[in-house]
Amino acid sequence: MKKKKTLLISGGLLTLIIIISTILIVNQNVSHKEIVMQNDSKHINNSFLTLMLEQSDGTYQESTTNTWPSGSYAFNSELSRCENGGELRWDRENGIVELLSNKSDACYVYFDLYNVVTITNVQATKTTNSVTLTVTVDAGENPVSTYYFSMDGGNSYQESSTNTYTFSNLDYGTSYTFQVYAVDSQGYESNEEVIEVTTDNYVNPVINSVTSTSVSNNSITVSVSATAGTNAIQTYYYSINNGSYTSSSSNSYTFNGLSAGQSYSIRVYVKDTNGIDSNVYTINAETDNQPLTLAEACSNGDNLANCITSFYNASGSDITKIYYHNSDLANGAGDNSYRYAGASDEVNNYVCFGSTASTCPSNNLYRIIGVFGNQVKLIMADYPTTSQTGTGGAYYNTYSGAGEVTSSYKGDQSLSSVGVYYWNLSGTNTWSSSSLTTTNLNSTFLNSISSIWRNKIVDATWYVNGYSSNAVTPATWHNAESIGTTWIGKIGLMYVSDYGFAASPSAWLTVMYLYNSALNTNWLYMGLLEWTVSRSTRSNDMAFFVNSNGVIGGYGVSNSYTVLAIRPCFYLNSNVTYVSGSGTQSDPIRIN
């Protein structure tokens, strides 16, 4: 077959428009372009146009009719011509042949026999930002070599060797018009098909509901029900009381460190994998108004000192009965300690020390005075028996054997097994040389504790300078006890200031010799006469004690009528950790 060219002609002084009913187009970007005409019935004006048709033997014969040839024909651009130089062009978009000439002209149009490929269908699949076109063809004389796809009105085409092409990065919910044609291996163009497609609208993710699934005194847990839109949900965002959002990959989130009995506004939204936001969903939830327990605030393995301070910071003084003695606390110690204060049945500061029994033995129950730096200070919850503190050293007799007053006693021990002791048999109030210190506390009592527990007790610096009077407040006593003479050891007794600050804060302006007015709000008061570690600076043979009526008094350290009960006191190693327990007497704190 001869080489052929398709001529595309537009405009002019004289225009001949030949309307073709069925036209298949070859690639207009190659040098050989044909017009293929099938089963045409349009009339031709033979006054200026001679139609030449190829025969089966390859010769051309003039058509004797004024209609387009039937069957499959291809326009031969090399043989087709006009006598006065007119130019013929094919307009694929309008399906016409145009004659461009500036004067009257006679033209000869040659058509070759040829069966070109035909596009029978163009199918579109779409998303929010893409359209994929798939072309179906009827085979022609030669196979398709290239498909052409346009979305800009034919100004530019995308080539593909396959019958599928995807237009990407389109706009959501927008209508696009696409044009498609094919070119066979000989350069013949198929018909051009036009299809209009509207991309999908983008569907945002939606939060359907937010519910509070768990509420405690200091925490609220919410669960989110959300529906993905066009893309999957990737990130959840949570905010409380209009605060900044916290991101999470989970549809559940817990807000911690809240206040008890308070209402909170919680907002939630999500982003999908395309970064598109959902609606913002808001709920109100309220924390419980019941006192928080240490077991709710702490976890197994938490540092005990940190656990207690965090418990306070999460819940406040009213719930924890812990008071932070910084410079802002009125009438406090001002030493940045955390101390328990209040009535005994309100203060949950019990610790089981020295036993792992499921029910803590009474002799292993201690109470937390407070947190000082990174160390927790304990005192025995009740008075020790003579089997723990011994009958040597500064021992005098049992409490009942010494005839001491017992009617105010609040503990559970048999007072015939609780010993009374001199503060210092030598007659001076030097703590370090007292046999009570060296023998009964730091030998007999310390050795009654197994080594694994004994190693949890730290050698601490004790201030044993004391003060001159009991007619001052706990803060004055603390200031005096924080300077001067020191002693380093494991087991001591409580300070006068420990006793003073264990009462409710309303008592802290009361002078210590009038502290009987505060005994019902002081968890350290146990009802027996007992020594403190604090000595008198006015007389070198006197030390201070807690009277059975709750006041602070001073006694001679070696008088036979001033033999008193004792409660060992010590600081835990800073690496001691919390295991379990809420701090009540029946559920004391367990440590590692």
Going from the N-terminus, what domains does the chain have, and what CATH number goes with each?
A: 14-113 (no CATH), 118-198 (2.60.40.10), 206-286 (2.60.40.10), 294-379+575-591 (no CATH), 384-569 (no CATH)
Using a CB cutoff of 8 Å and minimum separation of 24, what contacts does 191-194 make?
Answer: 191/22, 191/23, 191/24, 191/25, 191/118, 191/119, 192/25, 192/92, 192/93, 192/119, 193/119, 193/121, 193/122, 193/135
Instruction: Look at 235 and 101; give whichever has higher pLDDT.
Output: 235
**Residue of 143, 211, 225, 137 whose CA lies nearest to 180:** 137
- Kindly list the distances between the CA atom of residue 148 and the CA atoms of 153, 297, 348, in Å, as whole numbers in the listed order: 12, 69, 82
Structure tokens at 524: 């350290």
Inform me whether the pLDDT recorded for 22 exceeds 70: no
483-515 per-position pLDDT tens digit: 989 999 999 999 999 999 999 999 999 999 999
**Residue of 534, 496, 528 whose CA lies nearest to 398:** 528
pLDDT band at 385 (very low <50, low <70, confident <90, very high): very high
pLDDT band at 86 (very low <50, low <70, confident <90, very high): confident
Q: CA 34, CA 24: separation in Å to the nearest integer?
A: 9
Q: CA 316, CA 367: separation in Å to the nearest integer?
A: 20
pLDDT band at 47 (very low <50, low <70, confident <90, very high): low
Contact 527, 411 (CB under 8 A): yes
Q: CA 223, CA 268: separation in Å to the nearest integer?
A: 10
241-264 per-position pLDDT tens digit: 999 999 999 999 999 988 878 999
Inform me whether the pLDDT recorded for 40 exceeds 60: no
The arithmetic mean of pLDDT across residues 284-304, rounded, is 86
Q: What is the DSSP string of 444-478?
A: IIHHTS-HHHHTTB--EEEE---BS-SSS-HHHHH
445-464 per-position pLDDT tens digit: 999 999 999 999 999 999 99
Q: Is 516 helix (H, G, I), strand (E, B) or coil?
A: helix
Q: What is the pLDDT of residue 92?
A: 56
Inform me whether the pLDDT recorded for 67 exceeds 90: no
350 CB-near residues (< 8 Å, 6+ apart): 365, 366, 367, 381, 581, 583, 584, 585, 588, 589
Q: What is the pLDDT of residue 19?
A: 34
∠ CA(74), CA(75), CA(81), 5° rounding?
Answer: 160
Q: What is the DSSP string of 338-400?
A: EEE-B-TTT---EEE-S---SS--GGGEEEEEEEETTEEEEEESSPPBHHHH-SSTTEEEETT
> Of all residues in the chain, what percent carry a pLDDT higher than 70?
89
Residue 201 one-letter amino acid: N
Q: What is the pLDDT of residue 36?
A: 42
Task: Could you list the beta-strand ranges (E) of 273-321.
Answer: 281-286
Q: What is the DSSP string of 257-278?
A: SPPTT-EEEEEEEEEETT--B-
Inform me whether the pLDDT recorded for 116 exceeds 50: yes
Inform me whether the pLDDT recorded for 23 exceeds 60: no
pLDDT band at 73 (very low <50, low <70, confident <90, very high): confident
pLDDT band at 49 (very low <50, low <70, confident <90, very high): confident
Q: CA 264, CA 406: separation in Å to the nearest integer?
A: 52
Q: What is the pLDDT of residue 25?
A: 28
The arithmetic mean of pLDDT across residues 230-236, rounded, is 96
Q: What is the pLDDT of residue 318?
A: 80
Structure tokens at 78: 């090399």
* Model pTM score: 0.57
pLDDT band at 81 (very low <50, low <70, confident <90, very high): confident
Inform me whether the pLDDT recorded for 65 exceeds 90: no
Q: What is the pLDDT of residue 94?
A: 59
148-195 per-position pLDDT tens digit: 999 999 999 999 999 999 999 999 999 999 999 999 998 888 889 999
Inform me whether the pLDDT recorded for 96 exceeds 90: no
The arithmetic mean of pLDDT across residues 18-25, rounded, is 31
**Residue of 47, 52, 22, 159 whose CA lies nearest to 113:** 52
The arithmetic mean of pLDDT across residues 508-523, rounded, is 95
Residue 81 buriedness (CB in 10 A; 0-12 / 13-18 / 19+): middle
Structure tokens at 561: 């009528």
Q: CA 462, CA 32: separation in Å to the nearest integer?
A: 106
The helix (run of H) or strand (run of E) holding residue 510 is: none
